[in-house]
Structure 1
Amino acid sequence: MTENISVKSLFDTHRNKLALVHVAGSNGEDRHIHFDGPQITDEDDRDVSYVGHLNFIHPHRIQIIGYREIEYFMRLSQQGRHESLNRLYEGNPLCIIIANGIDVPDDFIARSENTGLPLYSSTQNSQFLVNNLQYYLSHSLAERATIHGVFMEVIGIGVLLSGESSVGKSELALELISRGHRLIADDAPEFSRIGPDTLSGSCPPPIKNFLEVRGLGVLNIRAMFGDSAIKDSKYLRVIVHLEKMDEDQLLHIDRLCGSHQKKSILGVEVEQVTLPVAPGRNLAVLVEIAVRNHILTLKGYHAAEDFIQRQQQFLEQDRE
């Protein structure tokens, strides 16, 4: 599910930061920036980027025009300029922004008034506009998914505690918070894919700061532990799945490498560690160690491989 953003709301949100001024084409400000509506009907158009400098071959949804683009138009003959404007406006962008404080050409104004296509100007550098709008739109329009669990920041790493209801996720989260780690979202964290291999997780506003613990009810973690116990968002890097296991299931866990899998969320593969839930196990410590082990893995160190190599070396020495 993606969020729909109107051109007008985008303009209102960034009016001050991007120094945007509306010039012409107010009739088209109700256009929405999204990939699920009727404005994009060709399957190939789904590969079009949200925002970028003027491009006729692969038109951006928001066309930015800076010094080089204006110079290009100025070098054209009257007929060539007319044809280029036709290509620009017939490409049906959502809006056009003239950057760098450049005086907006009269033919742009006239064409926007006739077509209703919103035209803005800005004193900001064109690349500054591209970077800021691309960042904002990639987050706002990213594909989203809500997953049951508790999302935490543990040792600087985004960790999702998952498992069946009543398995002890909230109690574990509370213990981690008491150990100095931070809560992001309880019960229904929302994840969005903001890059090819990046998931950003955050908390829906209605449940922000709250954690439900059976027997204690709903707790306000910010009020109880302070602002440092809450994190607004974090990239998801590790899933710790809590599972109640019988003796037979425990025997089938790989004692050398542990229980590691990959779980796909919105097409992104995320490392998942399964921890058996049993009396006497300190799950908070195990989660911390799972995160530390993940950090070592990112650095290229694998304890199981190191252990195997060491045993092989000792065996070879014995043979000699």
Structure 2
Amino acid sequence: MIDSLQSLIAQTGSQLKLHWLTPEPREPRPLQGEAPEHSRQSLIGSLNCIHPNRLQIVGQQEQAYLHALGATAFAETIEKLFADRPAAVIFSDGIEPGAALLEYAEGTQTPLLASTLGDQELINHLRYFLTHALAERKTVHGVFIEVLGMGVLLVGSPAVGKSELALELITRGHRIVADDAPRFARIAPEVLEGTCPETLRDFLEVRGLGILNIRAMFGEGAVLRSKTLNLIIDLQPLDHQQLECIDRLTGSLTAATILGVAIPKIVMPVAPGRNLAILVEAAVRHQILRIRGYDAGVDFIDRQARAISIDRPDPPAARR
């Protein structure tokens, strides 16, 4: 889990060629402030004293700017930089900070790091990593599986048959991401990425069979580490009256909200004799067509309307 500067450097330091210029802090250095305004600020960016980042990057341009300042302006800028208590100041391009910066860092207990990478490359890597590592997360009960390239979350009451359906889909060539407790992270305004907790990875529980290791049974191609969520299928044992309430043209398509993101949701009736695996594949294909702008229900209505207009043309008076 990434929650401090030390854990960030431990996971990315070798890849981003980061090393400490000051002693590594003994206490965890949080990457996110506790105040509400801190949660809205950028976590990583170039030197900015007006909208300070938690991780301030000093590259060639920032270094040239600081060197061009007079003594008074330089002191005021550096004092403002360290007064805002950044999580760390990182020097890119192999830059070595001057004595004044080292003195301010020591006085304010601000960690300094350096990297041989360029500033924009360093910012892009860290921003991508922090977006995923610190994304808002939620665990949902269900089975998360990839079907025809779409991330599908199977939900429903216990013992409704989610795991059995997932197992049949796996035998048909689809891939499982997580059983029982998939974890979703909001990595973009309208994008949820689903993963599996480490302790549950590769496993699927099927009642009567117990715990199955899908990777060992079906090979590497049967499991997937992560996938974006595109569709939710809610398995429900509906009675005749409930079935009659489902629109026969548009079906049961609605939307469910997870972490503030609306995800298309389909209620799929569970009944003896229904091949749910084929129905799930059909639902996914149908959703893919919707995404591409085609809706079979709308097409059917338009076709019927054209047929009616041909069979019953407008009377002459109405055409004038």
Asked if TM exceeds 0.5, the reply is: yes
Q: Distance in 1 between matches of 2:51 and 2:255?
A: 35
SS at match of 2:135: coil
Question: After the TM superposition, which of the residue ranges 267-276 and 58-67 deviates more from structure 2?
Answer: 58-67
Instruction: Assess if the C-alpha contact under 8 Å between 1:4 and 1:32 holds in 2.
Output: no
Partner of 2:73: 80
The aligned residue for residue 153 of structure 1 is: 146
Alpha-carbon offset, residue 28 of structure 1: 6.7
> What is the one-letter code of the residue matched to 1:45?
H
Q: Counterpart of 2:21 in 1: which secondary structure?
A: strand
| Contact in 2 for aligned 1:25/1:115 (Cα 8 Å) | no
Partner of 2:20: helix, strand, or coil?
A: strand
Aligned to 1:23: 21
After TM superposition, give the deviation of residue 45 of structure 1 in Å.
2.6
Question: What residue ranges of structure 1 are gaps of 5+ in the alignment?
Answer: none
Partner of 1:40: 34
Distance in structure 2 (CA, Å) of the matches to 1:7 and 1:123: 19
Aligned positions of 1:149-298 closer than 5 A: 149-298=142-291
Partner residue, 2:317: none
Unaligned runs of 5+ in 2: 314-320
Question: Percent of aligned positions with the same letter in both sequences?
Answer: 47
Residue among 297, 305, 310 paired with 1:312: 305
Structure 1 CA distance for aligned equivalents of residues 43 and 2 of structure 2:
13
TM-score, length of structure 1 as denominator length: 0.95
Give, in angstroms, the shift of residue 25 of structure 1.
Answer: 5.3
Residue 303 of structure 1: aligned partner: 296
| 1:84-163 equivalent positions in 2, closer than 5 A | 84-163=77-156
Q: Secondary structure, in 3 states, of the residue corresponding to 2:308?
A: helix
- The list of structure 1 runs, each at least 4 consecutive aligned residues, that deviate by more than 6 angstroms after superposition, is none
The 2-side partners of 1:319 and 1:206 are apart by 66
Cα distance between partner residues in 1 of 2:102 and 2:12? 21
- Give the residue type in structure 1 aligned to 2:101: F
**Partners of 1:104 and 1:121 within 8 A in 2:** no
Q: For the Cα contact (< 8 Å) 2:138–2:183, is it kept in 1?
A: yes
| CA deviation map 1:139-195 (0-9, x unaligned) | 111111111000001111110000000000000000000000001110011111111
Residue 6 of structure 1 corresponds to which residue in structure 2? 4
CA distance in 1, matches of 2:81, 2:253: 51
- Computing the radius of gyration from Cα coordinates, the structure with the larger value is 2
